[in-house]
């Protein structure tokens, strides 16, 4: 699948995506999933993507907040906590 090529570790797409940091006026939250296993176990993953691939150090440093959720690769999409965190991030970026 073409999207998988872009998301492969070291791909041109990912290198370009992280080559220029976001401006400080655009704070972002980094969410990652770890399928309920400890995020500190070597080889841990969300069941599909290794944590070492999800947790780019440069992206973590630039993030206003980094949150790991004990969800699977697909499970994070329907996670109530992930939804709440997304809503919080959107509310802070676009206050009413």
Q: C-alpha angle with apex 86: 83 to 87, nearest 5 degrees?
A: 85
Residues of the chain with pLDDT under 70: 1, 36-40
> In the prediction, which pLDDT does 78 show?
96
Q: C-alpha angle with apex 75: 70 to 81, nearest 5 degrees?
A: 60
pTM of the model: 0.80
Q: pLDDT per residue over 19-28, tens digit each? A: 988 888 888 8
Q: Please tell me the total number of residues recorded for the chain in this structure.
A: 96
> In the prediction, which pLDDT does 37 show?
66
> In the prediction, which pLDDT does 47 show?
86
> In the prediction, which pLDDT does 25 show?
85
- DSSP-derived 3-state class of residue 31: strand
> In the prediction, which pLDDT does 38 show?
65
**Encoded tokens for 74:** 């697909």
N- to C-terminal Cα separation, the chain: 40
């Amino acid at each position: 699948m073409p999207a998988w090529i872009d998301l492969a570790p070291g791909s041109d797409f990912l290198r370009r995506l992280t080559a220029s940091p976001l401006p400080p006026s655009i704070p972002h939250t980094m969410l990652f999933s770890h399928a309920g296993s400890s995020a500190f176990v070597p080889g841990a993953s969300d069941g599909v993507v290794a944590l070492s691939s999800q947790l780019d150090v440069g992206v973590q440093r630039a993030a206003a907040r980094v949150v790991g959720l004990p969800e699977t690769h697909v499970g994070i999409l329907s996670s109530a906590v992930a939804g709440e965190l997304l809503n919080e991030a959107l509310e802070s970026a676009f206050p009413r």
